Each structure stands twice: as structure tokens, then as C-alpha cells.
Amino acid sequence: MSTIQASSLIPEPQNRTIRAPRGSERTCSTWQTEAAMRMLMNNLDPEVAEHPESLIVYGGRGQAARSWEAYDAIITTLKRLKPDESLLVQSGKPVGVIQTHKDAPRVMIANSNLVPHWSTQEHFDELSSKGLMMYGQMTAGSWIYIGTQGILQGTFETYAECARMNFGGTLAGTLNVTGGCGGMGGAQPLSITLNGGTCLIADVDQSRLQRRLDDDYLDELVGDLDAAIDRAVELKSQKSATSVGWCGNSITLLERLIERGIIPDTLTDQTSAHDPLQGYCPIEYTHEQSIEAREANAADYQKLALASMRRHVEAMVTLQRLGSVTFDYGNNIRQRAFDEGFKDAFSFPGFVPAYIRPQFCLGRGPFRWCALSGDPIDIYKTDYALLQLFPKEDGGYNERLHQWILGCHKNPEALLNQDFANCEPRFAFQGLPCRICWFGLGERDKAGLLFNNMVQSGAVSAPIVIGRDHLDCGSVASPNRETESMKDGTDAVSDWPLLNFAANIASGASWVSFHHGGGVGIGFSQHAGQVIVADGTPEAADRLARVLRNDPMMGIFRHADAGYEDAIQCGRDQSVDIPMA
């Protein structure tokens, strides 16, 4: 166990407030570079980042840059970067500028990668404490985190599929229990209520719960544990789509539910269990006590955290056996519990094999976009345009798309009537106004070209950035999450994210990234990201058409190769060239 002090693993905090520029005037040589700069800055906007003073965006210690000196150097370099040059970033530090060409990525990023034999938390922490590496998480170090909304629609999709498979298509009249209300977990209460369910969520950090309450992701806060449980049970009986937050340890909540014989209809967890030092709070401590304890003795703290993770998963398995539909939400807590000696830790499945893989077989995954203008009306206009591009009447996932986009608005009638000035968001934008939805192969490129046309025509007032989570159909190898229980046993094969990284470079993405660790921790995943800018030019249209077809096509290749018939058929339907299918 590491003896490194916790404070040595994160940058020294600075009292800065960073916000991305808005509008149609740029300071960089191209919109591709301008967008990279603005999205890096947006990652550190106090409305977006968890701890921007220490460059931490989300996920315990997922950083946007390695140090403040590195951040300043990145910004300075981007402002002078020529249209045929590319910046190389190694674990959050700019290390060189190379001459490329105008269709090459303006930035290429590699974060947290270690040779497999040395790919341990201890070795990573040693390098991090010396300022030689940083943890990029998924979208923190790749400059495309957009706040809690970034995971919201994927969480919505997960619960929608859970509802379809288990509860007749809706979560109305169900109690859905979870833990962790940070940058990722904060999406859970709203995703549940958008699907009609009652949510009860715990977090040890009152400020996280309050933040979700302020941003309309969470509906109520109840201080007493039993009162919070009683309130949630009452709301369930009323079939009320309402979320209740309680400040305390998730273990305490689950064990109290067991004591009282209250069995949730669904159960998951999104505490930061991938990081036993910075991310997870042991049962022995309050949030405030944990801050001091991890600094006083990091090794002892991690032992307590890991022991608590075992106890946490034991409670989840108990509730599963009592009838809860239980699934892992990708934080690697089952692996931690298993390593602590709990043999039944993997009794419940991960969310990808349980609910998402059939969508991956169609190239479906997260598609997010951001209005560089800073004007929410530009997002509302794209919302409306997508509803027209993908009519609900065509059925399939289009119905869920309409449910999602209309659910993002307090007054959907204003959107449908194109009364954009009177549109109101159902939940607050964080930083630059952004949106996300799930699209598949044959849909992403259509949406990207639509946006490019809107920029070209002046329908929106500035270029639009299009990116995605690294959690996508063909961009990640993560045996305890995205690639868990693959049909052919290739869970740990990481050739696929490497091919994805290379394909997006060759296709002309505006910036690309390749990371290690993500939401499950060092040693457990490798994953790639891409971002592409719609600036209204014909050259951008060519890049968008290539990138937004080839990127999701990697999901078809990956799943067809593993033997999934849906992926093979999708490839046939869309004329994908799969040599051995």
C-alpha cells in the first residue's frame, strides 16, 4: 500500500477563476484550436469542475492539466499554434509541437499510460507525487467534460433499458437506491426521475448534494436517515418522479434498509471506488474527518476504504438476494470487494452487459455538443433541428431521443413552437451550454453535418464542438465495465481503443486522446476519445463525415469480431466493410 501523502498527488491549489471565452471572435489561428482551448478552460470553470483550484475536474482526481505551469504553457502554445501544426500533450504537460497538415488533429493527448507490468496504483502514485504524471480520468484530461449532463443521458439510457426489461417500460412506482452524487453520480437522481421513478441517493459530502439540488438534478434533501427512507417510500407509493438526497455513507443507508426490510426495486452505486485514497470515504469517517485522515496516514486510510468497499458490496449482494435489481455502474467496486476476499462480489452484473451492449452493437453511444457562442439559444435550436432530422414517427430509438430532448426542457411546447427565447432548461447548464444524446452508426455523421450547415447558414451564432465520452461502443477496453463478459472472451484486449485512436487521427478529428484508468482505476482499462469541430466550412464537413462515421464504426468492427449477430447485421445493413464477417 502506498505511503505517499495524499497532498502530494494533486497540484498546489491556486486562487484562479477560469471561464472559457464566448462568442464568434477567436484568438487562435483556427476554430479547431480555439475550440480545444475553450473546452480546456471550460473543464476548469467553477460551474463544471469539482475542484478547479487544484485542476481536478471530476472522478476523485481526474485533472485537466498536470500543473498550473503546464496549464499556462498549453494555453500559450494553443494561441500561437499554426493551422498546420499539432501540439503533443503527455499526461497533462505540453511536450512538443510538430508540423502536420490542416486535416490533422490540432492536439494529440496521452494520459496516465504505463507499460503493463508497471501498471499499478503504487507506481502511478509514485510518479504522480514527483510531478511526472497525472490521472486524466476519461473526459477531464481530454478537455470534453461538460458537467454532470455529460453522463446524464447515458444514465438515462441505462435506466430506460432497465425499466423496459424489468418494469414494463417505466420506473413509475419504483424505489431506486444509489450512492455517490459527484460529477458522474450526480446524474443518477435526474435520470431516474426522467424515467418516472423515485430515487434515494446518499453522499458523504453535503456540498455535492447541495450542488445537484441547486442545478435541479436533485429534488429534495432530508437530514435524518429514517426520515429520508420514509419520504422515499411515501413518494414511491404515490408513483412520484422525485429524488431524495441524504448526507451520509452509502453503507449506512443500505444496512438500514436491510434492517427495516425495505427492498429497493433497483440498486446501484457510483461512489469513486476506483480511487481508494482520494475518491472513497470509509465508514469510519465523516467527509470532514476523511480529509484529515487520508493526509495523516494514506496507507491506513486506503486499508479502511477497501474494507468499507467490501462491506458496501456485501450489502448490495444481500439486497440483490432479497429481490433488488442490482447492477454495477462502472466504478470497479466489485473488484475492490473481491480483492478484499468477498468471493460473491461479482454476483451482480455491470451495467454494460446488463443494459447497454445491444446498443453498442449498433454503434450507439454518447454524442455530446457544445455551443462556443455561450448562448443557450444555440443549443435549443440544435435540439429542435435534431427532432426534425430524426422524427419520432420513424420509431426505434427515435422515440427515446424525443423523450430525452423534450425532457431537457421545462416547457417543451416552447421548443416545439420554435419559441427559443422562452425555452427553459429542465436542469442548469454548467459552463458553456451543452447537450448530449445517444446516436448510432449512420446518425452521428448526419447530426454533425446538420450542425455544420447551421453554423454555415448563421442559424447558430458560433461554431459547435462535437465530442463524446470515452465510454463508447468501440473506444474502450475495460473488463469490469464496457467490455465485461464479451461473447468471445476478449474482455481485456486493448487493440480496439488503440485502433480507434489511430482511426480518428487518420480521419481528421480536431483533437484526440488515449488514456489509462478511466472510471475503474489504474490497471483496469484503456480508452480513447475524439472531438471534432463544426465551423461551417466545406473542409469541416469533409472531416465531420469521416470522423463521425468511422468513430462509431469501430463499435461495429469490435462487436462483429466478437461474434455479436446484431453488429454483423448492422454492418451489412450499412455497407460496412468487415473482411471476415
The three state secondary structure string of 241-309 is CCEEEEECCHHHHHHHHHHHCCCCCEECCCCCCCCCCCCCCCCCCCHHHHHHHHHHCHHHHHHHHHHHH
Do 507 and 432 lie in one domain? The reply is yes
**Helix, coil or strand: residue 175:** strand
- Give the DSSP letter string of 454-515: HHHHTSSSS-EEEE--S-SSSSEE-TTTTTTT-TTS-TT--HHHHHHHHHHHHHT-SEEEEE
Do 178 and 293 lie in one domain? The reply is yes
At 553, which CATH number? 3.40.1770.10
- Give the DSSP letter string of 363-402: T-EEEEEEETT--HHHHHHHHHHHHHHS-GGG-THHHHHH
Domain boundary among 304, 324, 348: 348
Cell of 517: 484508468
Q: For residues 96 and 403, what is the distance between their CA atoms, to the nearest angstrom?
A: 45
Q: For residues 504 and 499, what is the distance between their CA atoms, to the nearest angstrom?
A: 9
Do 319 and 378 lie in one domain? The reply is no
Q: For residues 132 and 4, what is the distance between their CA atoms, to the nearest angstrom?
A: 14
Do 543 and 407 lie in one domain? The reply is yes
- 545 part of a folded domain: yes
Positions of the chain with pLDDT under 70:
1-3
Q: Which domain holds residue 554?
A: 357-573
Give pLDDT, residue 194: 92
Gap between the terminal Cα atoms of the chain: 46
- 495 part of a folded domain: yes
- 71 part of a folded domain: no
Residue 166 φ then ψ, to 5°: -120, -20
Q: For residues 295 and 289, what is the distance between their CA atoms, to the nearest angstrom?
A: 10
| Residue in 181, 199, 423, 437 annotated catalytic | 437
Do 361 and 344 lie in one domain? The reply is no
Does the active-site annotation cover 361?
Answer: no
Do 259 and 279 lie in one domain? The reply is yes
Mean pLDDT rounded to a whole number for the chain: 95
Beta carbons of 363 and 568 less than 8 angstroms apart: no
- Which amino acid type is present at position 290? S
Domain boundary among 348, 369, 394: 348
- 26 part of a folded domain: no
Residue 187 φ then ψ, to 5°: -75, -20
pTM over 0.85: yes
Give pLDDT, residue 396: 84
- 100 part of a folded domain: no
Helices (H), 93-148: 121-129
Do 502 and 526 lie in one domain? The reply is yes
Give strand pairing partners of 526.
477, 516
Cell of 144: 470534453
Q: For residues 207 and 228, what is the distance between their CA atoms, to the nearest angstrom?
A: 18
- 144 part of a folded domain: no
Domain boundary among 348, 373, 400: 348
User: Listing from the earlier edge strand, what are the strands of the sheet with 175-179?
Assistant: 220-221, 243-247, 198-203, 175-179, 266-267, 325-326
Task: Fill in the DSSP letter of residue 422.
Answer: G
Give pLDDT, residue 3: 62
Do 323 and 372 lie in one domain? The reply is no
3-state SS track over 467-478? ECCCCCCCCEEC
Do 506 and 369 lie in one domain? The reply is yes
Q: Which residues, 6 or more positions from 372, have their beta carbon under 8 angstroms from its beta carbon?
A: 22, 23, 24, 31, 34, 35, 38, 432, 462, 463, 464, 465
Give pLDDT, residue 2: 55
Do 283 and 222 lie in one domain? The reply is yes
Do 276 and 361 lie in one domain? The reply is no
Q: For residues 469 and 346, what is the distance between their CA atoms, to the nearest angstrom?
A: 25
Distances from the Cα of 153 to the Cα of 149, 405, 428, angstroms: 7, 10, 14
Do 378 and 339 lie in one domain? The reply is no
Residue found under cell 509541437:
97
Domain tally for the chain?
Answer: 2
- 46 part of a folded domain: no
